[in-house]
Copies of this chain bind each other. A is one copy, B any other.
Amino acid sequence: MSTSNVLAEREQIVAAADRLFYTHGIQAVGIDRVRTASGVSLKKLYSLFPSKDALLVAVLRHRTGEWDAGIAEAAAQATDAREKILAIYDFLNEWFRQDDFRGCAFINSFGELGAVSPNVATVARDQKVTFQRYVANLVDEAGAPASLAPQLAILAEGAQTTAAISGTPDAAAHARAAAVVLIDAALSS
């Protein structure tokens, strides 16, 4: 029951909260529901996460890790920077087609609590900035001008909200096609 068990419990709670928050929204899910789903006592839950806000921050940080890993895995099969960039949109394409897809958790959380919880706003912004840097590195590696990077990042963001609200997973393919045009135009100049 030592450290490893505590970590396992943390992960269980975070995983349960993540699923519930993402599916139903944050304020629509009570702490007690998280407790039931994670099968842990309320006391333990509050000893690990002193508030719902802290739990939410942990959930979002966990999502950041999963997102980074997913992007990296998608890029692993690519050989050059251009393909690694396009792998982002392929990754999005698969994600959008999952049954439980309900948009970007960071965008949703920011929309729901960004004005009320500075912590949530910070975590969401951190995730976006990290992604923008990732894209910027690949653009640099591809030898394209730096101005291309924010354009590609905007395409990825727009695909997520479009897929979520309009319910069109094709948004990933559209974003990918646009990215191809933008990259090739940038490289040929």
Contacts and interface: CB of A to CB of B under 8 A. Distances in A.
Interface size class of A (residues with CB under 8 A): 35 or more
Given A27-B112, A106-B165, A111-B112, A154 B174 contact: yes
* Copies of this protein chain in the complex: 2
Interface of A: 23-25, 27-28, 102-104, 106-116, 121, 124-125, 128-129, 132, 147, 150-151, 153-162, 164-168, 170-171, 174-175, 177-178, 181-182, 185
Nearest to A28: B116
B115 A24 contact: yes
Contacts of A165: 106-107, 110, 114, 121, 124-125, 128
Contacts of A154: 155, 158-159, 162, 171, 174-175, 178
B151 A178 contact: yes
Given A175-B154, A181-B181, A182-B181, A113 B166 contact: no
Nearest to A104: B161
Nearest to A25: B115
Contacts of A132: 166
A133 to B, nearest CB: 11
A156 B106 CA distance: 18
Contacts of A177: 147, 151
Nearest to A184: B185
Contacts of A25: 111-116
A104 B174 CA distance: 21
B166 A125 contact: yes
Contacts of A168: 150
21 contacts: A23-B115, A24-B116, A25-B113, A28-B116, A103-B114, A107-B111, A107-B165, A125-B165, A128-B165, A151-B174, A154-B155, A154-B158, A154-B159, A154-B162, A154-B171, A158-B161, A160-B161, A178-B178, A178-B182, A181-B185, A182-B182
